Amino acid sequence: DYLVQKATPQEILAFKASEEADKRAQQLMDRNNAGTLTREEQVELEQILQAEQLVKVLKARALAALKRQ
């Protein structure tokens, strides 16, 4: 909710997942590619990918807002 309601376009564009989150996502993607994900890990990976997609959309909107200014 913070990114949607409170963050400035500049803050949204600067948002980056933590190094730890990036490493976990990569681990899950590697396990997925190897076919060794558990059901829980599959759910976790799907949630991470959905969150990444949301951030991409928010960044696109933030960039558009900056261009309109």
26-65 residue pLDDT tens: 999 999 999 999 999 999 999 999 999 999 999 999 999 9
Cβ neighbours of residue 10 under 8 Å, at least 6 residues apart? Answer: 62, 66
Burial 15-40 (b: 16+ CB within 10 A, else e): eeeeeeeeebbeebeeeeeeeebeee
Report how far residue 38's alpha carbon sits from residue 53's, in angstroms, rounded to the nearest whole number.
22
Note the pTM of the prediction, 2 decimals.
0.84
The answer to whether 65 touches 12, Cβ cutoff 8 Å, is no
Quick one: which H or E segment has residue 65?
helix 39-68
3-21 residue pLDDT tens: 667 889 999 999 999 999 9
